[in-house]
Each structure stands twice: as C-alpha cells, then as structure tokens.
Amino acid sequence: MSIRTLNYQYMPSPFGQLEIAATDENLCIVRFKSERSHPTNNNEILEKTIRQLTEYFLGYRHTFDLPLATDGTPFQQEVWRQLNRIPYGATCSYGEIASSIHRPKAVRAVGAANGRNRMSIIVPCHRVIGANGSLTGYAWGTSIKASLLAHEQKYKIIQS
C-alpha cells in the first residue's frame, strides 16, 4: 500500500459544510463535517471538485467528471458503480441495487457498501431508499438526505 498525501478543503453548502480531500491524482473524500480537522491546501482536483459541487448546488450539474480513488472491495466497487447509474432526481432501493448486480439476497451487504461510500454526493448514495420508500440510513442524517433529494427534484428538468 502506498502512502498518499491528502490535501483538504472545506466548502459551505446549502446542507452543511463539506470536507473534501484529494491527492494530486484523485478525489478521495467528500463528506459533511461541521468542524475543520485538517489544515487546508489546494490542488487542481480540489478546485475542480469545488467547481463541480458549486454547479450541482446551483442546479446546473447533474453528473460529475472527477477522478475518484474508490478504495474498497470488489463488491463495494460494484455497488458504487450502480449508485452512479441512478439518474439525477431518481431513487432506487437497496433491493433493486442488489438485484441489478445479480446478488438479490445481498440487500444488507449493499446497505453496508453504501454506508462505506466516501464520496458523498459525487457517488450518490443519498438516492438509495428503503423498499417501502422510506429514507433509511444516511451517515449525515435523513434530513440531509431528504434535502438532497428535494434539491434534485427541484432542478431535474434543467439539463447539465
């Protein structure tokens, strides 16, 4: 395993402060975090991420074009690829994701992989809901999840 130097930036969003971390090659972390716990530094990946997230929050961007460091098991990476296939403004259940990766009984494992996603918003884990339509589990709370989904509903008719 190689040691990566992470550069950090903090970005205000309509839903809370985001902590963003990247190497010079890849985006590594996007998460809601109220306190700054790292000194800030900048690089091209961080600048591009902040620009694309700003466009997302303004309703102009529906997909992201960023190099991601998605360290995880092959199963987790397969789940995260499926998350990126959920259209902007749409939702999908954990069971639907499990079925789409040909593992229909792996609903709990899909939930666990979803919870290990380190790229909030970029890899849209907020679009995954319970089978009954409920807003289940989100690392930063269901109120932020509901706000992100409402934001996407508001802007889904605008083309990116």
Class of the CATH-defined domain 74-141: mainly alpha
Instruction: Choose the catalytic residue: 28, 113, 122, 125.
Output: 125
| Cα–Cα nearest to 124, from 59, 158, 155, 79 | 79
Q: What is the pLDDT of residues 69-116, one digit of tens each?
A: 988 999 999 999 999 999 999 999 999 999 999 999 999 999 999 999
**Taking the model in full, what pTM does it have?**
0.91
Q: What is the pLDDT of residues 3-51, one digit of tens each?
A: 578 999 999 999 999 999 999 999 999 999 988 999 899 999 999 999 9
Residue 128, SS3 per DSSP: strand
Q: Where are the domains of the chain?
A: 74-141
28 is a catalytic site residue: no
